[in-house]
Chains A and B, each alone.
Chain A
């Protein structure tokens, strides 16, 4: 093994716990005055620009970024608390979450100064949505098969090709896209791809909806026809995107959103089971809660280690692998455990509705953001096996 697996028992610091109370107050006020409806965000849409602006106004987007770009220079553990509290109430974070988690940090690292000054403050104000353009019709797990082309032209590049499964492309202002600038080389099949910032609000782009099996429109097909991207929108080194991804991945993989996507089923299960469960139901609930608690401890630990400047890459992948499998299996386990709960509609209609929805979306949880198989390959590499 290259390195021992490490999960320091990290606790959230007092300032994070103070922040939690503020966040809870904010969320209950929002719910009370109709700012958002937790039920609706699960079933319908989690995109709510006005809500995102109110979150931005509280200083809860780009929390860890430098102040000069509208950030707040707070710790990853404080951001952690905000993320998990929002998830637990199904707050509609779609408009800002991708930019907050992924795109903003990429810009911070690779974008030109004037772009950072222009875009990052819009993100932190909750007024700018990003999407991620990696997958294509013939390139999913194998990112390096991407074929959407960026061809050199005067002052920039022309983009031609198709991105697929692009979540929120229909609502986003920008994409961070991965395009082919050169063919791969014999020695390195990962060579030849470059990251670009794409302004989606311009000619040359067509966004077509792709409805998912739960009846929702979240992801899209994005067609590029001679879309012009200026030179200063290039992110990082030409042909070398493969070098740029790795360090951010621990953040991307280890957050609470990686195991809380179906969480809403669990309290409802506890509710329908009631205060005096039989041994079977009690055992089932006890196991689920113990599993979730442990996942959370792992996730807090990875974020704490990141805050301390460590690079828990294998640990981050493990959190996502164990976490996504857990959130995927939760609806099935809840279904089993509630099998003998009375059928009277008043008793379990809310539970049934949530369970149906969670069951319908469960298949995607181990596919989006890298499949189980891909994650296990990464863990195996960390173990020194490949």
Chain B
């Protein structure tokens, strides 16, 4: 198990409490909170957590970064923190200097593929890019004759078609038509491209785990406040059982994401076992989202369906996150193909490999 820096966690919690309180953000008339929140995170070195100190980052461990993202999930923080961490990680691993500012990554859908021409221009389309419009930079995985390259692109140099996504954070379409990147480097040795999705899926699993913990708390608290038929609704067995199910799905997400994160933290290479852990986590946390969000809404009744209530800040992001970096269906097909290919007698050894 990797040690997490508890001082860092406390400091990050404080920033989110002060500047990313879901209720405050929900009632805010403007988007001014965003730059305040981002600056605070930037000043604490959190946005470049996965960039080594030598390259101008804060050189935090993978474990610390993932824990920060679980926290971001707990606050449903509407900023590209996970994307920027991932972008910084990719750039650093390719020895590309990392800029400051909000970044996102592309592509985030497994079937999208960006090509790099002979003269290093980007061609292709990436759908559902989180914070595509908002981010200053996009870190792109592109293939130059099947060789993966990492490049840093300015958002201004691409055609971006806005799509709010479910949460409003943006799941934008980015078109690269002979776009010239600011910087380019071949991907690190042994980098197949799958690492990109694997890291992204682990980030999303951690955010999902965080947000589910929060909606479990919202729903259990609400059930103890709300009165119907002269009782707290938490006293109705049907409600109790729904909340128990919500707790179970949250537990599943905590365990699945935690195990994937722990695997990545200690992995020396991205082998079959890493794929197995991370795909399982993304599948199972994605499934948990469906069940848990539905229950959280059911328990809240009509109030949870309003713009005014903060529940949607979580559930809409949860629905967005389960689509990013491979949905349950996409990962399940890949995992199922791997299991089938290995054959029936290799299933148990795979399950018990660690």
B-binding residues in A (CB < 8 A): 1, 4-12, 20, 84-85, 88, 266-268, 270-271, 273-277, 279, 281-287, 289-294, 296-298, 301, 314-315, 318, 321-322, 373, 375-377, 379-380, 382-386
A258–chain B nearest beta-carbon distance, Å: 13
Contact present for B245 and A376 (CB under 8 Å): yes
Bound-complex Cα distance A84 to B329 (A): 29
Q: B337 contacts which of A6, A20, A277 (Cβ < 8 Å)? A: A277
4 A-B pairs with the lowest CB-CB distances in the bound complex, closest first: A286-B332, A286-B336, A282-B336, A286-B335
Known: A9-B259, A282-B332. A293 touches B252 (CB 8 A): no
Residues of the A chain whose Cβ atoms lie less than 8 Å from the Cβ of B240: 376-377, 380, 385-386
Residues of the B chain whose Cβ atoms lie less than 8 Å from the Cβ of A289: 280, 335-336, 339, 347, 350-351
Q: Which residues in window 225-276 of B have CB below 8 A to A?
A: 234-235, 237, 240-241, 243-245, 247-248, 250-252, 254-256, 258-259, 261-262, 276
Binds A, one of B25-33, B129-137, B190-198, B212-220: B212-220
Residues of the B chain whose Cβ atoms lie less than 8 Å from the Cβ of A376: 240-241, 244-245
A375–chain B nearest beta-carbon distance, Å: 8
Bound-complex Cα distance A296 to B332 (A): 18
Chain B, Cβ-Cβ closest to A319? B251
Interface of B is mostly: helix
Q: A380 contacts which of B244, B279, B345 (Cβ < 8 Å)? A: B244
Q: List 17 A-B contacts (CB under 8 A).
A: A7-B255, A9-B255, A10-B1, A20-B352, A270-B343, A271-B344, A275-B343, A279-B333, A282-B340, A285-B335, A286-B336, A287-B287, A289-B336, A291-B287, A294-B255, A294-B280, A380-B243
Bound-complex Cα distance A380 to B236 (A): 11
Q: How many residues of B contact A (CB 8 A)?
A: 56
Contact present for B258 and A8 (CB under 8 Å): yes
Residues of the B chain whose Cβ atoms lie less than 8 Å from the Cβ of A8: 1, 258
Residues of the A chain whose Cβ atoms lie less than 8 Å from the Cβ of B224: 384-385
Q: A285 contacts which of B251, B262, B340, B345 (Cβ < 8 Å)? A: B340
Contact present for A294 and B256 (CB under 8 Å): yes
A79–chain B nearest beta-carbon distance, Å: 15
Q: A293 contacts which of B1, B244, B340, B351 (Cβ < 8 Å)? A: B351
Contact present for A385 and B351 (CB under 8 Å): no
Residues of the B chain whose Cβ atoms lie less than 8 Å from the Cβ of A279: 333
Question: In this assembly, does B283 line the interface, its C-beta being within 8 Å of a C-beta of chain A?
Answer: yes
Question: In this assembly, does B307 line the interface, its C-beta being within 8 Å of a C-beta of chain A?
Answer: no
Bound-complex Cα distance A282 to B276 (A): 14
Residues of the B chain whose Cβ atoms lie less than 8 Å from the Cβ of A377: 237, 240-241, 244
A-binding residues in B (CB < 8 A): 1, 213, 216-217, 220, 223-224, 234-235, 237, 240-241, 243-245, 247-248, 250-252, 254-256, 258-259, 261-262, 276-277, 279-281, 283-284, 287, 328-329, 331-337, 339-341, 343-345, 347-348, 350-352, 354
Bound-complex Cα distance A365 to B72 (A): 39
A256–chain B nearest beta-carbon distance, Å: 10
Bound-complex Cα distance A292 to B151 (A): 38
Bound-complex Cα distance A380 to B240 (A): 6
Q: A11 contacts which of B279, B328, B348, B354 (Cβ < 8 Å)? A: B354
Residues of the B chain whose Cβ atoms lie less than 8 Å from the Cβ of A20: 352
Contact present for B244 and A383 (CB under 8 Å): yes
Bound-complex Cα distance A318 to B138 (A): 41
Contact present for B332 and A298 (CB under 8 Å): no
B196–chain A nearest beta-carbon distance, Å: 20
Q: B331 contacts which of A85, A268, A286, A292 (Cβ < 8 Å)? A: A286
Chain B, Cβ-Cβ closest to A272? B344
Contact present for B213 and A4 (CB under 8 Å): yes
Residues of the B chain whose Cβ atoms lie less than 8 Å from the Cβ of A285: 332, 335-336, 339-340
Residues of the B chain whose Cβ atoms lie less than 8 Å from the Cβ of A301: 255
Bound-complex Cα distance A10 to B235 (A): 35
Residues of the A chain whose Cβ atoms lie less than 8 Å from the Cβ of B341: 275
Chain B, Cβ-Cβ closest to A17? B354
Bound-complex Cα distance A20 to B235 (A): 46
Chain B, Cβ-Cβ closest to A382? B247
Q: B244 contacts which of A6, A85, A321 (Cβ < 8 Å)? A: A321
A229–chain B nearest beta-carbon distance, Å: 38
Chain A, Cβ-Cβ closest to B233? A385
Known: A9-B259, A279-B333, A297-B255. A290 touches B348 (CB 8 A): no
Bound-complex Cα distance A282 to B255 (A): 24
Bound-complex Cα distance A377 to B223 (A): 15
Residues of the A chain whose Cβ atoms lie less than 8 Å from the Cβ of B235: 385-386
Residues of the B chain whose Cβ atoms lie less than 8 Å from the Cβ of A375: 244
Contact present for B336 and A277 (CB under 8 Å): yes
Contact present for A287 and B332 (CB under 8 Å): yes
Contact present for A322 and B336 (CB under 8 Å): no
Chain A, Cβ-Cβ closest to B331? A286
Bound-complex Cα distance A270 to B348 (A): 12
Q: B279 contacts which of A1, A270, A290, A297 (Cβ < 8 Å)? A: A290
Contact present for A383 and B243 (CB under 8 Å): yes
Residues of the A chain whose Cβ atoms lie less than 8 Å from the Cβ of B335: 285-286, 289-290
